[in-house]
Amino acid sequence: MDISRENFQADFFLRLSRRFESRTEMVSEIGEILHVGRDAVYRRLRGDTALSAQELINLSRHYRIRLDDGRTDRPQMYYPAGNEAKFPSEKDYFLSLEKQIVLAKTIPGARVDYATSELPLFYELYSPTLLAYKTYLFGLTTWNFEKWKGKSFSVDLIDPEIYEIAERSLKAAYSFPSRELWSIDILDVTLRRIEHGVQTGYLSAPHLVERMFSEIEVIIQHMEDMVREGKRFVPSEKPTKESPDFRVYHNELSNTNSVVIVDSKLQSIVFSTLITPNYLVTYDERIVKQMKLWFNNLLDKANVLSADSAKYTTTYFHNLRRKVGNTKQRIEVMNVR
């Protein structure tokens, strides 16, 4: 059994046990609700057998136990960055991100819906130079880190541990079945940041610029590979029949922020950017319901990118590569001058 799921199940039974005067009484009642024998109940209590999604639903509804991390003091909405909208360090941000992904993985049967107007951070977690540069820019702007003020970008400025956290986070994030909503401008913010860095002198090392463009080309190819396979997999692996399903939609209608919906029959969570890359987290059923309706409404008016729509998909990725080429040319002209 998956460790995160095992911990979730153990915590669930711990909370449930507080409703009974004895373990024998608890086993007997659970057996009646799930229509299984005593041995089957004990296997579930020990963690030898995983509760199915439907069994969790039946128990949580019968006993009215919330299927989150068990905290009764959790607000319906919270802001991990805190009142000052900043993290103490870049490492703290990525640890916070990893914690949210691990929490989402404890929800059995969860899938992810992701709508974004720019390149999702997850695609840069395996791109060390791009990840470092984006982190550096967030440190100068959103987080207002004194340690980087007045310094040109260098990968040496960044805590090297974030790459280990990023690798763990990516593998966990890519374990979810996912639907994503892209626009043709998905790379524009990333490309503008590179071009602006060269113009202002924050990005003054040509080899770093070249490395970032190489990483962008790898990202585009990986995105296209996943779209055509209909499977989600990390860049270092090949897709299999067991790889999570991946469905991408192209929509140019209004979408100005990034929203991640972790959805399941048991629990749904919404993550929405607020002062990028900071984000809000909400469990509020009204907000979650509205977000789901909004996302599905956008999908209804979108075109599918897939192997079945080969010509449309080829054109989409051709346009992405053209945008990258145009940006590279402008930067080359700047460097000549």
Q: Say if residue 29 is in the same domain as residue 94.
A: no
- Determine, yes or no, domain membership for 183: yes
Mean pLDDT by 10 residues, the chain (337 residues): 58 80 88 92 85 84 70 66 83 92 82 91 92 96 94 96 94 94 94 95 94 97 97 92 96 78 86 90 88 92 94 96 96 78
pLDDT of residue 22: 81
Q: Say if residue 213 is in the same domain as residue 142.
A: yes
Name the DSSP class of 75. Answer: -
Alpha-carbon distances of 96 from 30, 80, 102, rounded to whole Å: 36, 7, 10
Please give the tally of structural domains in the chain.
2
pLDDT of residue 136: 97
- Determine, yes or no, domain membership for 72: no
Q: What's at 72, amino acid-wise?
A: T
pLDDT of residue 337: 59
d(CA 84, CA 145): 12
Q: Say if residue 41 is in the same domain as residue 187.
A: no
105 in Cβ contact with 4 (< 8 Å)? yes
Q: Say if residue 26 is in the same domain as residue 128.
A: no
Q: Say if residue 109 is in the same domain as residue 38.
A: no
Range of the domain at 300: 77-336
Q: Say if residue 48 is in the same domain as residue 190.
A: no
- Determine, yes or no, domain membership for 68: no
pLDDT of residue 1: 45
